[in-house]
Structure 1
């Protein structure tokens, strides 16, 4: 793959669905959940994101941990799973999500090439820190940025501005990567050079912000930004 995005100074990653597999929480406890596990996992993610948008619209911010629990409560009720032990297991698993298989090698490649890396996430630090620590990838990131600092969720522009204020990089030097198409568009609208990590082959959202590139997983990132393997 030819270099598509030259002059990048830092790669900034969304966490959930981009670096870490949110489906791994349910997969770890599939037997306890039963036959509705896959549908519950999908609904949980949909409600989790929906609740962030609705809270932004209502001006009612709450930490992502609370939002994640509220979304799970809705999903457990919808699937008629009343066991509180299942809820406790799933919430605990969300603090230890598995990184996608290509992530460690990709981050190691960026580090060898001298490329800076950071995380920008809806997650609060109480969620992000244990997950990143468990993954043994913490030393790959110069910053783990949380929306908690601005008390607004993505795609509010104040979230993306955290990269400029905390990492000292202008938007045109940032390669932002997200598996959430709406997040990718929001970041592009802000001014980042944005790559949509389209893991499922989904159609593009019709939203403001022009995406710089689209990849199937993060293994293609080094070539995309000209970092030697």
Structure 2
């Protein structure tokens, strides 16, 4: 059956999670990030994800903003940074993450073909609203779905259930797109057609599901039908 519904992870897939640290590092008042920002960005993202997994298996769900702050605090301490101003600035910028350059045209192409487009993210509704607004892509999305509605982080199957519940489509009609190998694996196991956006050229995760497509970026998503 042809694809009808294109669903995207948000952070790291549509939005560049390294952009906050990269931008702050260029600001004179945050000179402490000048050389450390790549490590801070990497550690921040890693801990943010790890905390979602640990909270999911421990049944200790919280708002994604909490794990975002907790992950940043770990990353700053790990890299010897203690400036409250730097912490505040990084968190401010996380609400304004830039979309990857190919995102608007890719979504415009899908919408011109009459496809349904949506975000399915660990992010809280207010965080996602801020990112979508900042990137100017709200008119290109039919909905923005947050795990906050089911109270558990991905890759729990209840999160992927939200797509069918919202759009009334079977999993086989959905292309789920994520830059996270574990998320792509979870979605593939669930039954979605799945594309892993492997921008960093990493090895395939050895997990319980395998994405059907591996892409260097989002440019060719509309070609997958």
The CA distance in 2 between the partners of 1:209 and 1:81, in whole Å, is 38
1:164-189 C-alpha deviation (Å, 9 max, x unpaired): 11121111100000000000000011
Runs of 4+ aligned residues of structure 1 deviating over 3 Å after TM superposition are none
The CA distance in 1 between the partners of 2:49 and 2:190, in whole Å, is 20
The CA distance in 1 between the partners of 2:107 and 2:12, in whole Å, is 16
- Partner-residue secondary structure (3-state), 1:106: helix
The CA distance in 1 between the partners of 2:57 and 2:115, in whole Å, is 36
1:37-69 C-alpha deviation (Å, 9 max, x unpaired): 111100000000000001111110011001000
- Partner-residue secondary structure (3-state), 1:218: coil
- Partner-residue secondary structure (3-state), 1:118: strand
Structure 1 counterpart of 2:158: 158
The CA distance in 2 between the partners of 1:102 and 1:169, in whole Å, is 27
User: How far does residue 34 in structure 1 lie from its aligned partner after superposition?
Assistant: 2.7
Structure 1 counterpart of 2:21, from 17, 26, 36: 26
Structure 2 counterpart of 1:177: 177
Structure 2 counterpart of 1:3: none
Structure 1 counterpart of 2:205: 205
- Partner-residue secondary structure (3-state), 1:154: coil
- Partner-residue secondary structure (3-state), 2:219: helix
Taking structure 1 as the reference length, the TM-score comes to 0.94
1:70-104 C-alpha deviation (Å, 9 max, x unpaired): 11011111112111111111111110100001101
Question: How many positions carry a matched residue from both structures?
Answer: 220
Q: CA RMSD in A?
A: 0.9
Give the unaligned 5+ runs of structure 1: 1-5
User: How far does residue 210 in structure 1 lie from its aligned partner after superposition?
Assistant: 2.8
Taking structure 2 as the reference length, the TM-score comes to 0.96
Give the unaligned 5+ runs of structure 2: none
- Partner-residue secondary structure (3-state), 1:65: helix
